[in-house]
C-alpha cells in the first residue's frame, strides 16, 4: 500500500522519459548528417551514399505517390463497403464482412509483401508489359489492401453510431434512401471516417516490409514525375534496404536516421492534425 | 423503358455495391491463396529440416517459431506492467491536465511508424548501450511499440467500470490497493486480457523493427541468453521471399507465412471472441 503511489509515479515518469528519449536520440543520431549536408538535401534529387550525395526528394516523392494511390483506392472502396454492409445487406452478411476485414487486418505486413512479390508483381508485369513489375503502383496497390480494413471498420463503426432518432426523423420526412445517406448519415459519420482515413494514412506512411519487397528500391526521381510504373524508393524502403550496410557512426547511418526523423515528424503531424480537428468538432 | 427506370432508381445502390465488391471478396481470396501456396509446403521435412540443405533451411522452422514466440513474450512481459502502472496512475492520481497530456502523448506515440522505433533501438540499445544485435534489444523495441495499445486498452477497461461502484467502495473505506484488487481487477480483467492478446498478435506481426536489431538470417538455432540474436519466422519469410530463382525456397516462405498467420490469428481471434463475450455479458 505504501509502495503503490511512489511505484506508479516511478513507472509513469519512466515512460515519460522514454517518450522524450525517442525524439532526442533521433535528433542526436541524425545531427552529423544535418550538419554536413544542410537542410537543402530535402530537395536534392540524387542519392548515392558512397559519393556523399544524399538527396531526399526521390524517396519523399515515392512515399507520397504510394500513399496517394493507396488512399485513392481504399477510401471509396472502404466507405462504400461500410455503407453497403450497415445500410443494405442483412446483419449476418455484415458481421461476415466485419470478420473478413478483421482477419485481413491481422495478416502481418511481411505476408502482404509475399503476396505483392509473387502474385501482384507478375500480374502487373503482364498487364503493363513492364520489366519486372517493381513499381510505385505495386506499392500503392499492396498498401491499399493493407489499409482497406482500417478504413472499412472505422467507417462501419461511424455509421452505426449515427443515432436512430436522426435516421427516423429523416425517414419520417420522406427522404429517399440516397438523400438520407448523403444528407444525414454521411455528414454525421464524417468526422469519425476522416479520423479513420488519417489513421490509415499514418499506417501507409510507416509501412516497411511489404513496400520494400515490391517497390524496387531504385533511388531516382520518377521520369516524368507522374510515372508510377518505374522501380522507385520510399522513405521506409530506403531505411530497410540500407540500414544493414551503413556502418555505425558514418554519415550514411546518420542520413538514414534523418530519414527516420522525417518519417516520425510526418507521422506526428498527421496525428496532431487529426487530434485538433476532432477536438474542434 | 422499365430497364432504364430501374437503373435510374438503383444506380446509387448499384454503384456502391460495385465499388465495395473488392472488399467483400478480397479477404477470402487472400487467405485462400496463402493457404493454397503455403499448406503443401508444410510437412515434417520442412519443419524439422531433415534432409534439406542451404538457405538456412537445414535447421527447419522450430527455431524460428521459438524466436518469434520469445520476442513476443518478452515484449509483452516488459510492456504489461508499465501499461498497467500508467493506466492506474491515470485513474488514481492524475488531474485533468495530466490526463489530457497522457492521452495526447499516447496518440502521438502510436503515430510514430514502427521502423522509427527500430532505428531508435538500433542507435540506443544496440550501439550506445552495447547490447548488440540481441533478443533483449528486440524485446524492448517491440515493448515500446505495443505500449500505447496496451495503455489505451487498459484505460478503456477501467473507464467501463461505473463511477458508483468505485464511489461505494471508497465510502466503505477501501484504500487504493483494496480498491484495485477487490473492485477494479475482477471487473476489468476480461478487457485487459483482450488487450494483452492483441498486443501479442501485434508483436508477432511486426517485422521491420526487429530485422536489424534482434535477428540474423541463420546460424542461431536456440539462443542461449537474451544477449544473443535469434531467427524468427517474420524475418525468415523476408529472406526466403527474395530467393526468386529457387521455387522450392519460395514455397517454404509461403509455408512459414501460413504458420505465422496461424499464430497471429490464434491470438487476435481469441481476443475478438473474448471481446464479444464480454460485450454480451455487459448487455445482459
Question: Residue B55 domain-assigned?
Answer: yes
What pTM does this model have?
0.92
Q: What is the ipTM of this complex?
A: 0.92
The pLDDT value given to residue A104: 92
Q: Residues A262-272: what's their mean pLDDT? A: 93
Residue B181 binned pLDDT confidence (cut-offs 50, 70, 90): confident
Say what percent of chain B tops pLDDT 90: 44
CA B38 to chain CA mean position, Å: 22
The pLDDT value given to residue B88: 92
CB contact under 8 A, B13 and A115: no
Closest CA to A58 of A238, A229, A254: A238
Please check whether residue A135 touches B, CB under 8 A.
no
- Chain A interface, mutation test: which of B113, B237, B266, most A Cβ atoms within 10 Å? B113
Residue B283 binned pLDDT confidence (cut-offs 50, 70, 90): low
pLDDT at A187 over 50: yes
Question: Residue B173 domain-assigned?
Answer: yes
Say what percent of chain A tops pLDDT 70: 98
**A47, β-bridge pairs:** A54
DSSP sequence for B32-83: HHHHHHHGGG-SHHHHH-TT--STTGGG-SHHHHHHHHHHHHHHHHHHHHHH
| Torsion angle defined by CA atoms of residues A218, A224, A228 and A233, in that order, rounded to the nearest 10 degrees | 20
Question: Residue B163 domain-assigned?
Answer: yes
Q: Residues A76-98: what's their mean pLDDT? A: 91
Question: Residue B274 domain-assigned?
Answer: yes
The CA distance from B265 to B205, in Å, is 10
The pLDDT value given to residue B52: 67
Q: Residues B114-126: what's their mean pLDDT? A: 94
pLDDT at B56 over 70: no
Q: List the CATH number of the domain containing B162.
A: 1.10.3720.10
Q: Residues B180-207: what's their mean pLDDT? A: 91
The CA distance from A49 to A197, in Å, is 35
What the block records as the C-alpha cell of A116 is 505483392
Question: Residue B32 domain-assigned?
Answer: no
More confident residue, A206 or B277: A206
**CA-based nearest distance A196→chain B, Å:** 13
Which stretch of A224-238, B30-44, B216-230 has the lowest confidence by average pLDDT? Answer: B216-230
Question: Residue B239 domain-assigned?
Answer: yes
| Number of compact structural domains in chain B | 1
Say what percent of chain A tops pLDDT 90: 55
A152: chain B residues, CB-CB within 8 Å: 23
Closest CA to A236 of B147, B202, B212: B212
The pLDDT value given to residue A281: 44
- Summarised one tens digit per residue, pLDDT across range A121-132 is 999 988 888 888
The CA distance from B103 to B84, in Å, is 15
pLDDT at A1 over 60: no
A271: chain B residues, CB-CB within 8 Å: 107-108, 110-111
The mean pLDDT value of chain B amounts to 88
The CA distance from A232 to A95, in Å, is 39
Which is it for the CA torsion B12, B18, B21, B23, positive or negative? negative
What's the start-to-end Cα distance of chain A, in Å?
A: 42
Q: Residues A137-158: what's their mean pLDDT? A: 94
Closest CA to A72 of A149, A140, A157: A140
Residue A244 binned pLDDT confidence (cut-offs 50, 70, 90): confident
Q: Residues B91-108: what's their mean pLDDT? A: 89
CB contact under 8 A, B238 and A213: yes
The CA distance from B88 to B158, in Å, is 9
pLDDT at A43 over 50: yes
Q: What is the CA radius of gyration of chain B?
A: 24
Furthest-apart CA pair in chain B: how many Å? 78
pLDDT at A238 over 50: yes
CB contact under 8 A, A275 and B104: yes
Chain B 234-263, residues with CB within 8 Å of chain A CB atoms: 234, 237-238, 241-242, 250, 253-254, 257, 260-261
Q: Residues B197-220: what's their mean pLDDT? A: 88
The pLDDT value given to residue A88: 87
pLDDT at A277 over 90: no
pLDDT at B221 over 80: no
CB contact under 8 A, B241 and A114: yes
Within 13 A of A45's CA, how many CA atoms are on the CB side?
5
Which is it for the CA torsion A169, A171, A174, A179, positive or negative? positive
Residue B53 binned pLDDT confidence (cut-offs 50, 70, 90): low
Domains of chain A (ranges; CATH) run 60-237 (1.10.3720.10)
Residue B215: left (phi > 0), alpha (psi -120 to 50), or beta?
Answer: beta
In chain B, the residue whose alpha carbon lies closest to the alpha carbon of A18 is B144
The mean pLDDT value of chain A amounts to 89
Contact criterion met (CB below 8 Å) for B55 and B61:
no
B257: chain A residues, CB-CB within 8 Å: 110-111, 114
Question: Residue B85 domain-assigned?
Answer: yes
More confident residue, A132 or A60: A60
Contact criterion met (CB below 8 Å) for A266 and A59:
no
Contact criterion met (CB below 8 Å) for B240 and B156:
no
CB contact under 8 A, A117 and B241: yes
Question: Residue B193 domain-assigned?
Answer: yes
- Summarised one tens digit per residue, pLDDT across range B15-35 is 898 899 888 898 899 999 999
Kindly give the pairing relationship between strand A53-54 and strand A47-48: antiparallel
Residue B48 is part of which domain span? 44-283
Q: Residues A24-39: what's their mean pLDDT? A: 90
Amino acid at each position: 500500500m505504501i509502495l503503490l503511489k511512489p511505484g506508479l509515479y516511478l513507472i509513469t515518469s519512466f515512460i515519460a522519459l522514454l517518450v522524450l528519449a525517442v525524439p532526442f536520440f533521433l535528433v542526436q543520431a541524425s545531427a552529423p548528417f544535418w550538419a554536413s549536408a544542410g537542410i537543402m538535401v530535402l530537395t536534392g534529387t540524387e542519392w548515392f551514399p558512397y559519393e556523399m550525395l544524399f538527396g531526399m526528394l526521390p524517396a519523399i516523392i515515392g512515399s507520397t505517390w504510394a500513399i496517394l494511390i493507396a488512399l485513392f483506392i481504399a477510401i471509396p472502396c472502404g466507405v462504400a463497403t461500410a455503407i453497403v454492409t450497415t445500410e443494405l445487406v442483412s446483419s449476418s452478411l455484415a458481421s461476415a464482412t466485419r470478420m473478413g476485414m478483421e482477419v485481413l487486418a491481422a495478416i502481418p505486413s511481411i505476408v502482404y509483401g509475399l503476396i505483392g512479390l509473387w502474385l501482384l508483381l507478375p500480374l502487373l508485369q503482364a498487364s503493363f508489359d513492364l520489366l519486372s513489375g517493381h513499381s510505385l503502383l505495386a506499392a500503392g496497390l499492396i498498401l491499399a489492401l493493407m489499409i482497406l480494413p482500417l478504413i472499412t471498420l472505422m467507417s462501419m463503426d461511424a455509421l452505426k453510431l449515427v443515432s436512430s432518432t436522426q435516421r427516423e426523423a429523416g425517414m419520417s420526412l420522406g427522404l429517399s434512401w440516397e438523400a438520407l445517406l448523403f444528407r444525414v448519415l454521411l455528414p454525421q459519420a464524417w468526422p469519425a471516417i476522416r479520423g479513420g482515413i488519417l489513421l490509415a494514412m499514418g499506417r501507409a506512411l510507416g509501412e516497411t516490409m511489404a513496400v520494400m519487397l515490391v517497390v524496387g528500391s531504385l533511388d531516382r526521381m520518377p521520369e516524368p514525375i507522374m510515372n508510377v510504373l518505374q522501380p522507385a524508393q520510399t522513405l521506409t524502403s530506403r531505411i530497410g534496404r540500407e540500414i544493414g550496410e551503413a556502418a555505425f557512426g558514418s554519415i550514411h547511418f546518420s542520413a538514414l536516421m534523418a530519414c527516420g526523423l522525417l518519417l516520425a515528424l510526418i507521422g506526428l503531424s498527421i496525428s496532431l492534425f487529426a487530434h485538433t480537428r476532432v477536438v474542434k468538432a | 423503358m422499365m430497364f432504364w427506370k430501374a437503373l435510374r432508381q438503383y444506380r446509387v445502390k448499384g454503384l456502391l455495391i460495385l465499388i465495395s465488391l473488392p472488399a467483400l471478396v478480397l479477404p477470402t481470396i487472400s487467405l485462400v491463396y496463402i493457404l493454397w501456396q503455403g499448406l503443401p509446403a508444410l510437412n515434417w521435412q520442412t519443419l524439422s529440416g531433415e534432409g534439406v540443405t542451404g538457405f538456412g533451411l537445414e535447421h527447419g522452422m522450430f527455431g524460428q517459431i521459438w524466436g518469434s514466440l520469445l520476442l513476443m513474450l518478452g515484449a509483452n512481459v516488459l510492456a504489461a506492467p508499465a501499461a498497467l502502472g500508467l493506466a492506474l496512475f491515470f485513474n488514481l492520481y492524475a488531474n485533468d491536465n495530466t490526463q489530457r497530456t497522457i492521452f495526447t502523448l499516447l496518440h502521438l506515440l502510436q503515430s510514430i511508424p514502427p521502423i522509427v522505433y527500430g532505428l531508435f533501438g538500433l542507435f540506443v540499445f544496440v550501439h550506445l548501450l552495447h547490447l548488440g544485435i540481441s533478443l533483449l534489444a528486440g524485446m524492448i523495441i517491440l515493448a515500446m511499440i505495443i505500449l500505447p495499445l496496451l495503455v489505451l486498452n487498459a484505460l478503456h477497461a477501467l473507464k467501463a467500470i461505473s463511477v458508483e461502484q468505485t464511489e461505494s467502495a471508497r465510502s466503505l473505506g477501501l484504500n487504493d490497493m483494496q480498491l484495485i484488487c477487490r473492485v477494479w481487477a475482477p471487473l476489468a480483467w476480461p478487457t485487459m486480457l483482450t488487450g494483452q492478446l492483441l498486443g501479442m498478435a501485434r508483436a508477432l506481426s511486426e517485422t521491420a523493427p526487429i530485422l536489424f536489431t534482434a535477428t540474423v538470417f541463420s546460424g542461431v538455432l536456440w539462443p542461449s541468453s537474451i544477449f544473443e540474436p535469434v531467427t524468427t519466422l517474420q524475418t525468415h519469410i523476408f529472406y526466403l521471399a527474395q530467393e526468386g530463382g529457387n521455387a522450392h525456397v519460395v514455397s517454404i516462405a509461403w509455408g512459414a507465412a501460413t504458420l505465422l498467420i496461424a499464430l497471429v490469428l490464434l491470438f487476435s481471434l481469441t481476443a475478438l471472441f473474448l471481446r464479444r463475450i464480454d460485450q454480451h455479458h455487459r448487455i445482459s
